[in-house]
Structure 1
């Protein structure tokens, strides 16, 4: 690491081993945040020019070099590596090498604290936007299949035991609504964290009239995070909320993957996965394994682990503490894995094939008992008497799954799925 750290001053000894430990994963984490840090530096430079700290020429020089740094980084011409303490110091060093004293002015009125806050906040907004989009795409695909296969009978289960006649429409519709909820939660979380911390410095403000309204507008935030001290208190809190929004979707994905794991087994035989979504055994020539589905199921654990790691770091009093450095890696890891998993789902769902004959064969006469009990109650028999009467296996015969679905008129089931309601919600969400 470069011994010329930005906080160096006479009387401080810099030990290479200690510096390596202090840096930790910062450089690797900052690679994901670097372009956002550059964008925030541009807004800060403009703000400094607006209050007379920078001349117009100095500001123009800084903006030009910051754009050049962003272009170099995108093209692979600038590498963020162990030469730098972190991404923030890399930006300052680059500007100083290019512009001398003008480059040294860029840090006036700001701290690495608000630098990492604003870069992280901008990055989180992008991740939550992607999460909302992916969940809406999954919901749209599930809704399309729910409409196409609305009245295809399938067995419904509770306790992994056959329970009542269900349909592919109900199964698909459930996932459509689940992921639509997840999309809306992601967007609501994005709205909540859409606040600009830049200008809070180390959490106590500075004795300059920083134009925080300008940086809020320039960076596309909905509002300014008002009190400087709360900006520091919110580090990790907002990231935790974002991971919880991601976990909501990953929880639904885990349950969906569990269904597919069961339904693709020989014991069920309800579903066939396309060959690209299966792998073979290294030993057993007869095996085709649903590895992708199983890893999608396990992906919840990766995101949950990231969330728990972050939560443990946040056991702190107010103000900045170096512990907070450890908030970056789990958030980056959780979103990196979670979004990659969700991105595979729409095509998987579009391409899986049902075996209607297997679904139909799994619907046994006992699954009509509940319908029968309700029919007796509808005709005037007290429900507990109807319940006992409907338990007679002799009465279950001669009933069909199709008849059961046609008679199921309660909202959200059978012939009354309400898919148009979901479609309207999705249309509003997409338009928004």
Structure 2
């Protein structure tokens, strides 16, 4: 049986109550390690809270100055690695408060007036999520930029088009690139829209019921750069998990597109297709077979969506709760941090990989067979006045002596979005608008 002993430094500890070390370890979980990613945001929010307390008379100007100076010093130590959260602390919140009390005594003991760890973790994670979504948007825009440039350069480079993994119509490398460019532009816009949606300040909602102080929550909203106040103290607590899921939804859309793109590359890189190659730094050798170069990076990029999907499942399963705060929600932190850490790392590799992709035009052309011109023949007959259903039947049979080329097929693909009318300028305008 582990020894029960006072849990020194716990923010909630009451005199005379012992805490079993095993229970405390379970309660704290991974928080000390996880909060290393959130600590800088927690410090920033603590500074804004202190400034707000001064505005309502809880802190004097001198006390505020001392608190802000120490918070700034702690922030610098965190940034350069001189201060690292470790097992001395229950979590990041307790580390900040312990530091302020150690240095400033009773002034440090005032910092938690009017707030709870509930709104403290909400505001830190909200600030963190806002930055993560900004990074997501920038990464998606970077992918779209490479794809759009290559779409313009390779619009007339023939590539077989597939449906059901069966040869369908003549397509082009440029059309393939344009599809991914627009996909990732949409993903970047979704990241920005999600960031706007969750850009609401929960600080000052305390444990979900407000406090007996006229806190200037509009001040902290402006001070922390939020676009609006999360008005209802009750809703601030209800939004935990909900806002995280929306951020993960934006991330998952980008990772879904990454998964499908990686699937294309997995096929195109195979000897059976042979449509493209990657430089050796993007592949690995076999431990047994000297002849092998494996697209391991592409395959792991393809699998990365599973990390995000798993995180969403974990958080969704936690939200079967009544209103108010419940400790269950502590378990939302690890999957959220894990999903963004892995997902953004995967996306960060993609622009350079796509830029390095080398097409193999001879193999691409060799895979285009006569049957892939059938739709072109049907459209030509329809233009000549033949009812489409009749044209469809006639086009299924090759015309003796007819000569068609992939380039000719692409040159006639005049519908908007086709190879002869790709409207890449519209995509470029959307990409530029992302800033």
- The runs of 5 or more residues in structure 1 that have no matched partner are none
How far is the alpha carbon of 1:315 from its aligned partner?
A: 1.1
Could you tell me whether the CA contact under 8 Å between 1:109 and 1:206 is conserved in 2? Answer: yes
How far is the alpha carbon of 1:78 from its aligned partner?
A: 1.5
How far is the alpha carbon of 1:394 from its aligned partner?
A: 4.0
1:339 counterpart (339, 344, 352)? 344
More displaced 10-residue stretch of structure 1: 381-390 or 141-150: 381-390
Cα separation, 1, equivalents of 2:137 and 2:125: 18
Q: Could you report, residue by residue, the CA deviation over 1:124-174 in whole angstroms, capped at 9, with x for unpaired residues?
A: 000000000000010011000001111111100000010000011110000
Query: Mapping of 1:275-290 within 5 angstroms?
Result: 275-290=280-295
How far is the alpha carbon of 1:267 from its aligned partner?
A: 0.4
Could you tell me whether the CA contact under 8 Å between 1:369 and 1:396 is conserved in 2? Answer: no
More displaced 10-residue stretch of structure 1: 376-385 or 388-397: 388-397
Cα separation, 2, equivalents of 1:343 and 1:397: 48
Q: Could you report, residue by residue, the CA deviation over 1:218-247 in whole angstroms, capped at 9, with x for unpaired residues?
A: 111001100100000000100000000000
More displaced 10-residue stretch of structure 1: 79-88 or 317-326: 79-88
- 1:393 partner SS: coil
Cα separation, 1, equivalents of 2:406 and 2:329: 57
- 1:3 partner SS: coil
* 2:104 corresponding residue in structure 1: 99
Cα separation, 1, equivalents of 2:209 and 2:241: 18
Instruction: Work out whether 1:156 is the aligned partner of 2:161.
Output: yes
Could you tell me whether the CA contact under 8 Å between 2:7 and 2:19 is conserved in 1? Answer: no
* 1:231 corresponding residue in structure 2: 236
Query: Mapping of 1:400-419 within 5 angstroms?
Result: 400-419=405-424
- The TM-score normalised by the length of structure 2 is 0.97
Q: How many residues are treated as equivalent by the alignment?
A: 430
2:266 counterpart (261, 270, 274)? 261
How far is the alpha carbon of 1:11 from its aligned partner?
A: 4.4
- The TM-score normalised by the length of structure 1 is 0.98
* 2:429 corresponding residue in structure 1: 424
Could you tell me whether the CA contact under 8 Å between 1:132 and 1:184 is conserved in 2? Answer: yes
More displaced 10-residue stretch of structure 1: 378-387 or 58-67: 378-387
Cα separation, 1, equivalents of 2:40 and 2:434: 29
How far is the alpha carbon of 1:13 from its aligned partner?
A: 2.2
2:364 counterpart (335, 354, 359)? 359
Instruction: Work out whether 1:199 is the aligned partner of 2:204.
Output: yes
- 2:245 partner SS: helix
TM-align CA RMSD:
1.1
* 1:40 corresponding residue in structure 2: 45
Cα separation, 2, equivalents of 1:267 and 1:2: 64
Could you tell me whether the CA contact under 8 Å between 1:3 and 1:14 is conserved in 2? Answer: no
Cα separation, 1, equivalents of 2:197 and 2:415: 36
* 1:143 corresponding residue in structure 2: 148
Cα separation, 2, equivalents of 1:169 and 1:192: 34
Query: Mapping of 1:72-91 within 5 angstroms?
Result: 72-91=77-96
Could you tell me whether the CA contact under 8 Å between 1:277 and 1:292 is conserved in 2? Answer: yes
- 1:344 partner SS: helix
Instruction: Work out whether 1:208 is the aligned partner of 2:213.
Output: yes
Cα separation, 2, equivalents of 1:375 and 1:77: 72
* 1:392 corresponding residue in structure 2: 397
Instruction: Work out whether 1:28 is the aligned partner of 2:33.
Output: yes
Query: Mapping of 1:288-299 within 5 angstroms?
Result: 288-299=293-304
Could you tell me whether the CA contact under 8 Å between 1:2 and 1:84 is conserved in 2? Answer: no
* 1:372 corresponding residue in structure 2: 377
How far is the alpha carbon of 1:12 from its aligned partner?
A: 2.4
Q: Could you report, residue by residue, the CA deviation over 1:164-201 in whole angstroms, capped at 9, with x for unpaired residues?
A: 00011110000000000000000000000000000000
* 1:117 corresponding residue in structure 2: 122
* 2:330 corresponding residue in structure 1: 325
- 1:32 partner SS: coil
How far is the alpha carbon of 1:393 from its aligned partner?
A: 3.0
How far is the alpha carbon of 1:361 from its aligned partner?
A: 0.7
* 2:3 corresponding residue in structure 1: none
How far is the alpha carbon of 1:3 from its aligned partner?
A: 2.7
Q: Could you report, residue by residue, the CA deviation over 1:46-96 in whole angstroms, capped at 9, with x for unpaired residues?
A: 000011000000000000000111111222222201111111011000000
Could you tell me whether the CA contact under 8 Å between 2:7 and 2:18 is conserved in 1? Answer: no
How far is the alpha carbon of 1:302 from its aligned partner?
A: 0.8
Cα separation, 1, equivalents of 2:214 and 2:17: 32
How far is the alpha carbon of 1:36 from its aligned partner?
A: 0.2
Structure 1 pair 395–389 and aligned structure 2 pair: CA distance change class (3 A)? farther
Cα separation, 1, equivalents of 2:419 and 2:178: 11
